[in-house]
Every structure is written in C-alpha cells, then in structure tokens.
Amino acid sequence: MVDLTELSAKHTSAEAASRVRKRNASQVRLKLTGLFAIGLAGLALVALLWTVVGSAMGTVTEHYVTISVPVPAEDFNPEGGELDSVTVGRAAQAAVRDRMRTIFDFADTRAEQRELADIVSSGAAFELADTILENPELVGQDVEFSLVASDVADLYYKGFYGRLTDVPTSTSVRVEIAEDSDEASIFLQQNVFREVVDAVKIELQRRADRARDAAQLQDNGVRAFERRLETASNEEERAEFQTEITSRTTERDRLIGIAEDLENQVQTAGTSDTLDNRMPSVLLKAGGGWIKLTQIQQQTAQGTVIEPLETAEFQAGEWQMLVNTTPEVSRKVSDFQTVILEDLADMDTVTSQFNWRFLSAGDSREPELAGIWGAAVGSFWTMIVTFLLAFPIGSLAAMYLEEFAPKNAITDFVEVNINNLAAVPSIVFGLLGLAVILPLMNALGNDDFRSAPLIGGTVLALMTLPTIIIASRAAIRAVPPSIRDAALGVGASKLQTSFHHVLPLAMPGILTGTIIGMAQALGETAPLLMIGMVAFIVDIPQGVTDSASVIPVQIFRWSDLPERAFSSRTSAAICVLLIFLVIMNALAVFLRKRFERRW
Amino acid sequence: MATKTAQNGKEDLDIKIRSRKVNVYYGDTHAIKDVDIDIEANTVTAFIGPSGCGKSTFLRCLNRMNDTIDVARVTGEILLDEHDIYARDVDPVQLRAQVGMVFQKPNPFPKSIYDNIAYGPRIHGLVANKSELDEIVESCLRRAALWDEVKDRLDEPGTSLSGGQQQRLCIGRAIATAPHVLLMDEPCSALDPIATAQIEELIDELRQDYSVVIVTHSMQQAGRVSQKTAFFHLGNLVEAGSTEKIFTSPEDERTQNYITGRIG
C-alpha cells in the first residue's frame, strides 16, 4: 500500500526540481524547433518570391520605337477602292523595313541588315497594318507609329545585356578614317584605357589558365602512356603508345606555348592589346558616328567604323568612350545593334510602357508578342467546367455518404476508395481522360474536343472530387447532432433536415474544400498534357469547346523555350498564377470567416 | 389541442397516450422492458429515475425519435389518441409535428428568431400567407413567454439569446407546429435557477393546451411541475401515479429508496 501523504513529499524533492527543469527545457526545445522550422519555411518562401518576382520584373514594361513610317498609296492601295488586308500586310512589312534602312543607311552588308531587322518586332508591322486597315484615311500620309521593340532590343534597354558605361575622359581625341576601308585610327592626349586594360588582363589570364589546364591534361596522358609503354608486351603496342606519347607531347607543348604567350601578354598588357569579342566592347562615339575599338595602345587605338564619321579632332566633352563589360559573345545584341539602339534612344524615339500586352494577348512564338490572357481564359473555362461538375457531385456525394447511406461494408469500401483516390497521381487522371473521356465526348458531341476546356475541366473535376468529398464530409460531420434533432423534432423529414439545416451549416467548410480543390486543379499541368492542352494556341478561347491552354501549361511551355525574354515571361506567368491562387485561398478564408456560425 | 378541456376536473381527463408492452433494444442492450403507461391529456407527467434507467429512451419512443438511431428497435404498442404510432401507415415525420419535443440542451437553429418559430409551420404548410405566419410567430412567442423580450429583434439569430431564452424559443418552436403533446427531455438541466423557474412556470401554463411529458433528474422539479409521476429503474417502469402519492406514499421499495435518496 502506498501512503499518499508520503508521496506528497516528493513534490519538493530535488528529483522533482530536476524533472521540472527537464520539462521546461524540452518545452523550450520544442518552441525553438518550431520557430526554426517556421523561419526556414518563411525563408524558402521569400527566396521563391524573390527569384520569381525578380525575374518577372523584366516583363513589367515593354519598349516601343516611335518613328514616322511613310504609307504610300501605291504600295498600300495600288488598285484603289477598298483596302486589301494581304496587300496592306505585305506593304507594312516593307514600309517598316525600308524606313529602318533609310534611318540607318550605313547598314550595308546582309548581316547588318538582318541585325537591323531584329530591332523592332516582326509583330510591329502587323500592328501597323491593322491600324491602317482600321483607318484607311492614313494611306498616303506619313504615320507616326509606335513599333514594338523586339525581345532582344527590349532586354537591351532593360540592361539585361550589360550597360554601356561612359568612361569619363578629359582629353581631346583625333580620329582619322581610312579613305577606302572601315578602319579608323585614334590618337589621344592621355591614356584612357586603364580600366579596359584591367579587364583585358583578367580575360587573358583566364585564357592562359585554361591553356595550362588543358596542357596538364595532355601531360597526364603522356605519363599514362609512358607507364603503359614500360609494361607493353609486344612491338605493335609499343609503337602505338609511342605515337600517342609523341602527339600528346606536341599538343602539351603547344598549349604551354599558348599559355606562356598569353602570360606574356598579361605582363605587357597596356602597351598594345587586341580586343576580341570575348573582351569588353569599347565604343567611341563622336561626330555623329560610332567606332568599335579593336586594338588599343597607351595613347592610340585602332578600330572599325560602325556608323560613319569624318576625320576630325574632338575636344573633351565632344566625344565619349562607352564600355560594355559584357563581352559580345555573351549577349544577343551585337555591337552593331547596340549602336542602332543607342541612336534610337538618342533620337528620343524609345519609350517604355506598362506591358498590357502580356496581360491581354494570347501566346506567340515571339516573346515580345506573347501574353498570358489566352491561357488565363483557358484556365477560366476549365475551372468553370471543373466547378460545375465537382462542386454539386462532390457535396451531394458527401451529403449522401454522411447523412443517408447505411453504415455497412459497401460504404466503408467506398470511403476507403475515395480517400485513396485523393492520393492517385494526377497524370493517371490524364490517362483516363485520354482513354475514356475524350473519345466519349467526341462520340457524344460528334466533334474533336482535343485540347478543349470541356475535357480538361472534366479530368480536373475527377481529380478534385476526392478532395471536395473529404472536406465536405468533415464539414457535414462537424454540424452538431443537436441541430438535426431540432429539425427532426419539429417534424422535418430527413431530406429537409439535411438541406435546410445541415447543408447551410456545412457550406463554409464545403466551399473551403471546393476552393482548395479548385486551386489545386488550377495549378495542375500533368493531366492536361495528356489530353492535348499543351498545344500552341494563339487564339483566345471563346467557350468550353474551343482549343485552349491553361496558365500552368503555358508556364511549362515557356520555361522550355530558349529565348531569354521567355524566361522572364515564365516568371511573370508564375506570378499571375500565384496571384490567382492567393485570391482563391483568400476567398476560402473569407467564406469560412464570414459564414462560420457558432451554436 | 386536447380532446377535452379541463372543466370537468382532472380525474375525468382523457388518456392521450397509452403504451402497452413497449420494449426497446439498442443492438443487444434491452433498454426498456414491458412498459405500460397511460399519459393523460392536459396533464404534466414527469418521468423520474436514476441515470441510464431508460426514461429518455422511452420519451423518444413517443415521437419515434428512436427511428433515427440505426440500432434501436421498438416493440409493443404506443397509442396516441387510440391510434398506434408504430403502425405501418403512420409517417414518423407527420407524427413528430403532432408530438413536439424540447431537448436537454437548448438547440435553436442558427437562423433568426422569427425563422426558428416559422420553420415548422412553413414545412408543414400550416399557413397560407406571410401575415398568418407573423401571427403564429407572435402567438407562439407569447405562449413561450418570450415575446416581450424579443419582439424588437426577431431578425437576430436565435443563438444570440441567453440559455433560458433559447430554451423558451425551443418550446415556442415546438408548439408552432400545433402539436397535442409536448415531450421535454430534461429541459432545465443546462439552465440557471432563474431560467429554470421561468421554464417551470411556462410548463404549468402549457398544461392548459397540451399534454406535457417531462423527463427530469430533479425530484423537486417533478414535484413542482407535474401532476403525474412515473418512476423508471433499470428499464422498468416501477411505479406510476399522481405525483403526490409517489412522493408521499410510494408502493414500491425502489421508489421509496430513490425518493429518499438511497439510490440514484
């Protein structure tokens, strides 16, 4: 028998005190672990948002080049009378191209003309054509038109391809242009190339190191074959190894020679350096022309004329030395295009505007023309179908299972399967859609519904159903039985009790579950890939049977494209999707708070 | 309404509910054993007995609320105005409109006070238009002694009332379907003494128009409100009779022991 009065003494013992300390310590430990976990999750979230939003910033604005484009009647309306869209389209292409060539008449080679054509988007001419078709009175005039810049031009203006920095100089320069070539010689009063030389040194040293590494690899090869030579069994092998050793030694010595050469250049850098396309671009802007420097000495330099200028002496302030530290090979904008873009900016023709196009346009192969609206509308239609199918079916199924179904082995089996369905990978539902729903709908509708929101929505509804049923059942179960008793007590039937009292009370929970399920469906990609919603669709879908894409699939497709502007658009599309998800979840929280009742 | 008014004195009152050999089983548990009892019109009948004795179970048989429990099974005969309520042609839903019930915990619908009362008349089609419904709501709330307290806030949710008010609202809701019988399952157990007193006073008034059956744990309450008392013990109806007799000279020893507090 334990004496309780004796036991009470244990409360004040040292053992008890140590137990209290232990208990408190474990509580503190748990608290710290929890804080750490939350902090980690928060950090991950911030990192995610930071990268996505940071990358999406490139899509917030877009650049336009506003120039006056002649619209001659003989090109745009040779026949007279009504405008013909094909003729106008073709003429607009030519007009924009010719106008650019007139402004930048120094683009004389094919390569330069091609680069010039890449400055404004290919869509700009279509927009011009559309404007003219809408306003036929413009034919015969010079039209002041904002041409949307191409993706590379846009990214250049946003600084994604490095920025031209003005190296401050306080000296005069003499530029001599060769009579019969593009060569130019530059004579300076002071050495202004120190910073450039530093960058050159770093690049040369890097190349030297790379050559040394390569030489080391060859040397390893030489040693390996030397060892094999010692153990070689016959003459044939010996000869083979000997050849290998000879060739590798030659290669090694050649690489070492290159490395030494480069190291010498690093040593002597600043006396005379060649600037190639892996080194910073140094551009000289004077007298309305541009020269790209190819060779620099301390007070002289040689270069290629990009935009022509006359031989002359320029005082300090009359000329500029501009450096882009991003080498030409590492950017999609060539130095020639840089000159064009800078000239356009100097002419005050370049404006930056909020990128409504991204929010209002459909998909396009050209990143500057691509928008999310088509996918957003596709998502909208898909969600409509999903909601119309999943919400009534899900909530009514839950209602039946909770309130009406007898509790037996069959309902238990159904319940287990519903719970398991929630864990089925979504791509399986896509397969189901492809194998069953699509052919079924095609047969019923006597049409091809591939890529249609009707199919996508149905598949997503199937995927969402378990979530909705589980949430709805929990919500229905949470309605206190006293409410059911009350309703039955005044003579309400089972059906009346369920629909007049239980359902309204469970509705916040059901809606929360539905919205969460829908949010999950909104972000779903895999099943939609299976039923063909991954197609390239430019048009905005007008209904549930039109071909469509959805936002997550659009993100998936854009993320796969090599253009840099698409990677920024991918992030922007992710932001749009996140905004939708946040709105839906906020709605769920709002509904729960608004309609939550106490009893 | 009762079949006969109280003008002839209590002794001549009609038998409202007659139960014969009623047995209730919850699965394998035999909860009620061969209960025979007559419940008179315009009388308050109290069911007393220790916890788990089956008094609530028997009460729930009177409006077939046990039907909603899957494992419950009722045998025997319960006659309401001489009609068997367990007969095949009786619709339990219709029956519950005639036998109102008030539960242990106040359970108003989380709707407005007005809708709480109006719900029953609406689903049973007792009224033709809005003004009739308004009249019913007012008269039910008056009879439930709640009208003066809530007449200015009929739009407020029933759940915003105090516990005692909620229980009176539930009584008002129960009488709104024009029942003959009111079943009350420990209606005051969740209430404070003042609210309890109000409800008891109300029960006494309701006796004019309804047969009231009340399950209670409190013998004092049974003594205060009821004219007839039935004592249940372990599923058996031990003794039933006028309240005065049960409390002063019970015939059965078990009743005696319970009354005096020896079992309970």
Q: Chain-wide mean pLDDT for chain A?
A: 90
Residues of B in contact with A489 (CB under 8 A): 63, 65, 96, 100-103, 174
Residues of B in contact with A493 (CB under 8 A): 93
pLDDT bracket for residue B6 (50, 70, 90): very low
C-alpha neighbours within 13 Å on the C-beta side of residue A142: 5
Which CB contacts under 8 angstroms, 24+ apart, belong to B159-166? B159/A597, B159/A598, B159/A599, B159/B108, B159/B110, B161/B108, B161/B113, B162/B195, B163/B106, B163/B190, B163/B191, B163/B192, B163/B195, B164/B191, B164/B192, B164/B194, B164/B195, B164/B196, B164/B198, B164/B199, B165/B195, B166/B106, B166/B107, B166/B108
Nearest to A544 by CA among A436, A366, A405, A385: A385
Q: Is B247 on the interface with A (CB under 8 A)?
A: no
pLDDT tens, position by position, A8-20: 878 888 888 999 9
pLDDT tens, position by position, A34-92: 999 999 999 999 999 999 999 999 899 999 999 999 999 888 888 878 888 899 999 99
pLDDT at res. A157: 93
Residues of B in contact with A486 (CB under 8 A): 103, 107-109, 170, 173
How far is Cα A415 from Cα A138, in angstroms, rounded to an integer? 69
At residue B251, φ and ψ (nearest 5 deg) are: -85, -35
* Res. A340: pLDDT tops 90: yes
* Res. B173: pLDDT tops 90: yes
Higher pLDDT, A233 or B61: B61
CB A484 within 8 A of CB A466: no
Cβ contact, residue pair B93, A492, below 8 Å: yes
Give B176→chain A minimum CA distance, Å.
8
How far is Cα B51 from Cα B232, in angstroms, rounded to an integer? 10
> Tokens at residue A399, please?
């209602």
pLDDT at res. B1: 38
Query: Nearest residue on chain A to B64, judged by CA atoms?
Result: A489
Query: Nearest residue on chain A to B179, judged by CA atoms?
Result: A490
Nearest to A598 among B95, B123, B159 (CB): B159
pLDDT bracket for residue B13 (50, 70, 90): low
Cβ contact, residue pair B174, A482, below 8 Å: no
How far is Cα B93 from Cα B73, in angstroms, rounded to an integer? 17
C-alpha neighbours within 13 Å on the C-beta side of residue A393: 14
Nearest to A599 among B68, B100, B110 (CB): B110
Residues of A in contact with B93 (CB under 8 A): 491-493
Cβ contact, residue pair A505, B70, below 8 Å: no
Cβ contact, residue pair A488, B177, below 8 Å: no
pLDDT tens, position by position, A300-325: 899 999 999 888 889 888 898 999 98
Q: What angle do CA A56, A62, A64 make, to 5 degrees?
A: 170
SS3 category, B21: strand
User: For residue A295, what is the DSSP state?
Assistant: E
How far is Cα A449 from Cα A110, in angstroms, rounded to an integer? 46
How far is Cα A441 from Cα A454, in angstroms, rounded to an integer? 9
How far is Cα A156 from Cα A547, in angstroms, rounded to an integer? 35
Best B69, B80, B96, B161 residue to mutate vs chain A (most A CBs within 10 Å): B96
**What pTM, to 2 d.p., does this model score?**
0.82
pLDDT at res. B51: 85
> Tokens at residue B193, please?
């003494």
Residues of B in contact with A407 (CB under 8 A): 70
Higher pLDDT, A31 or B261: A31
Residue type, A538: V
pLDDT at res. A382: 95
Q: Chain-wide mean pLDDT for chain B?
A: 88
Give B199→chain A minimum CA distance, Å.
18
pLDDT at res. B53: 87
